[in-house]
Chain A
Amino acid sequence: MNAERIYRLLLRAYPRDFRAEYGREMMLVFRDQCEESDVRTVGFWAAVICDVARSAPALRVEATRTAEVIMKLAAMLTVLLGAYDIVSAVVEWVAGSKGAIDGTYVLAVVLGVFASVLLLGAGVAILLRTPWSRQAARLALVASLVMTLAARLLFPWMSIFSQLIGFGLPVGLLIALYWPRRPSTVRPA
């Protein structure tokens, strides 16, 4: 099996669209490299395999845009759950207002509503994808977390589901937004 046939096999590691667009040129360049190097050496093939191993997975991830899709879905879920929380807080308020209202409960509901609004705002900011949206989303999520914590302290009977949304969602999104991005792409900040 000659060098070009081996490289043609290695090219299958790349996404199909990328191969269709650049495969011919990559083969040309590989042929040029073969003319100027000794293809019988381990060093030559180690460099070739390292290049494929380093570049092909990143291009596959970019092709599927997995991280972006997940972030978009998480942001949409955040918007929906934020809206749900606001509605359920209002319903609780209406139901609670039929009897005597405890001031602490009122404050907890108000904090819960604000936390939900901030959560909804963070989701919208992530979906907008403007230069300032990531920072705005981070601030909104931190504020939402603080308000949910305050509401939980004031109202220890907060439902498990509300606590999961109130704590879990902001923490998860903050981790995703603060996760260091490898400078493997050329995109404006």
Chain B
Amino acid sequence: MGTKRRADRPPEAYLPLPPATFHILLALADGELHGYAIMKGVAARSEGTVRLGPGTLYGSLKRLLEAGLVEEGGERADPERGDERRRYYRLTPLGLSVVRAEARRLDAMVRAARRKKLIGERPA
């Protein structure tokens, strides 16, 4: 009697992801990043439409760490941003599976919208 271990739950059990969470996981898919780099990555990828503040970012990271989708990658200074040591974050294997599952889910929805001609064809 008790809850299933986190590792035993399929990635689909975590879907749908909140938008901020998906953007953060997407940013971390490129490798380890610190908080400000995640924030910049999300803003760039969304062409400025999604801007995470520190509260939203670290609130989401806290939840992702608790859910086991993200883990800390140690502290070190970012040469481009001065001498201050910054905490880096990276995806866990579960986190990678979850973000892939969410991407597939969203892709299926976009394909369904295209079939109904709600949006245009996939660009070449």
Pair count A-B, CB < 8 A: 85
Shortest beta-carbon distance from A90 to chain B in Å: 28
* A50 in contact with B53 (CB, 8 Å): yes
Q: Which of A32-86 contact B (CB under 8 A)?
A: 32-33, 47-48, 50-52, 54-56, 58-59
Residues of B contacting A56 with CB < 8 Å? 55
Shortest beta-carbon distance from B105 to chain A in Å: 13
* A51 in contact with B9 (CB, 8 Å): no
Whether A22 touches B58, Cβ cut-off 8 Å, given contacts A32-B36, A48-B53, is yes
Residues of B contacting A187 with CB < 8 Å? 14, 67
Stretch of B15-23, B106-114, B115-123 with 4 or more beta carbons under 8 angstroms from chain A? B15-23
Q: Is A129 at the interface (CB under 8 A from chain B)?
A: yes
Considering the chains assembled together, what is the distance between the CA atoms of A188 and B16 in angstroms?
Answer: 10
Residues of A contacting B14 with CB < 8 Å? 186-189
Q: Is B1 at the interface (CB under 8 A from chain A)?
A: yes
Shortest beta-carbon distance from A166 to chain B in Å: 28
Residues of B contacting A29 with CB < 8 Å? 35-36, 39, 54, 57
Q: Is A183 at the interface (CB under 8 A from chain B)?
A: yes
Residues of B contacting A52 with CB < 8 Å? 53, 55
Q: Can you pick out 13 interface pairs between chain A and chain B where the beta carbons lie within 8 Å of each other?
A: A25-B34, A25-B87, A28-B36, A33-B36, A52-B53, A59-B59, A59-B62, A128-B1, A130-B3, A131-B4, A183-B18, A186-B60, A188-B13
Tell me the A residues contacting B by CB distance below 8 Å: 14, 18, 21-22, 25-26, 28-30, 32-33, 47-48, 50-52, 54-56, 58-59, 128-131, 183-189
Tell me the B residues contacting A by CB distance below 8 Å: 1, 3-4, 6, 9, 13-14, 16-18, 21, 34-36, 39, 51-64, 66-67, 69, 81, 84, 86-87
